[in-house]
Each structure stands twice: as structure tokens, then as C-alpha cells.
Amino acid sequence: MAVATVKYLQTPTSPAWIEQAIANLDTILLDHSHCERKAAGVALNLMCRYPSNTQLVYQLTAIAREELEHFQQVNNILERRNIPLAPLPAPPYAAGLKAQVRRNEPGRLLDSLLISGLIEARSHERLGLLGENVRDRELAAFYRSLMASEARHYGTYWVLATTYFPREEVTERLEELATVESELLATLHPQPRIHA
């Protein structure tokens, strides 16, 4: 088994994904716009669900703002390329991860934080791959610029998890969820997506 280069991820993205992405950049850009909007929504939802968890609210306010900024940046690129904000059926990834969230607290909070962290970690890895492999220089630079924030975001979700839960419990649960995350990406989705 190849070793993932991004902390928390159990397996690295396959070369087949990057080939598929490069061959379908317009769809990847549109999907990316949906991802940024959803990432902002997830942060806002968590703030609404746990309004008295001070650290969580402070940290997620910053993430929600950044994700909205990314959303706007991707949308500017879509506009320049005349790609309308059309709907795209989501790949099974996010729903598959969400199904792992325990219904009852405090497990629900821990799982929500760790899953958001894993999604951020995967985004960080894949935007990095796009930054390395996309020929269009401007676009490649854009992907590389986003990579750093997504890395910060997964760090924040990890820190929040360890703020509210014992480290041992966090590490153990992260390992279980990271296994599911890698399994969900084990077969390449036929449609090009950021998390496919």
C-alpha cells in the first residue's frame, strides 16, 4: 500500500484521478465551486448546532469566511470561462462519510469535526495535485494558493477535536474514519469530481 503524503489520510490519490481531472477541468472547476460553498455551509451549521462552544464558534467563523472567499474566487474563474453555476450530482463521498456520524452526543460532535477535517485534508491533497499538474499557469497558481488554507483548515478541525475530546479517543476515531474515507475513494467515480 502506498503511503499518503498528507497527514490523516490513509491512502494517496491515484494517478487515474488526476488524469480524469485534467481531462475535465471545466467540470472540476464547477464541482470545486460547489465544494467551497458546502464547506462554508458545514462550518456555519456546526456553529449553529454548538453556539456555546466558544473555541469552535471562533475558529469556524474564520473558516466559513475563508471558504466563502474561495467560493467567490472559483466563481470568478467560472465566469471568465463562461461556465454557468449549474447543478452537479454529488459523488457518494460526502454522504458515505456523513453516514458514519453517530446520532448521539458527544459522539456526533467528534465525528462531525473529524469528518470535516478529513474532507479538508483530501481537498488539500487534491488541490495540490491540480496545482502541480494543470498546464494553465494562472489556474495552477490558484490551486496552489488554496492548498495552504485547506491545510490550515484540517489542522483547525483536528485542534477543535482535541479541545473537546481526549487525544486518545480522537486518534482512535480518526483512524476508523480515515479508513472509511480511503475506501470511499478506492474506486474512481465515473464522473470527474474533486472528491471522487
Applying CB under 5 A, the span of 16-24, 39-47, 108-116, 179-187 interacting with Fe ion comes to: 39-47
Shortest Å, Cβ 84 to Fe ion: 21
Q: Residues 32, 37, 70, 195: which binds Fe ion (CB under 5 A)? A: 70
For Fe ion, the binding residues in 124-163 under the rule CB under 5 A are 150, 153
Shortest Å, Cβ 73 to Fe ion: 9
SS3 101: coil
> How many residues interact with Fe ion (rule CB under 5 A)?
7
d(CA 129, CA 134) in angstroms, rounded, equals 8
Shortest Å, Cβ 148 to Fe ion: 10
Contact status, residue 38 vs residue 88, Cβ threshold 8 Å: no
Question: Packing angle between helix 137-164 and helix 54-80, nearest 10 degrees?
Answer: 170
Q: Please, which residue, 43 or 196, has the CB nearer to Fe ion?
A: 43
Shortest Å, Cβ 150 to Fe ion: 5
Q: Of 153, 144, 152, 113, whose CA–CA distance to 126 is shortest?
A: 144
Applying CB under 5 A, the span of 43-51, 70-78, 98-106, 177-185 interacting with Fe ion comes to: 70-78
Applying CB under 5 A, the span of 48-56, 85-93, 95-103, 112-120 interacting with Fe ion comes to: 112-120
Query: Which residue's entry shows cell 454522504?
Result: 95
Residue-level length of the chain: 196
CA trace torsion 153, 158, 160, 162 (10° rounding): -170
Residue 162: how many other CB atoms lie within 10 Å = 13
Binding residues vs Fe ion (CB under 5 A): 36, 39, 67, 70, 120, 150, 153
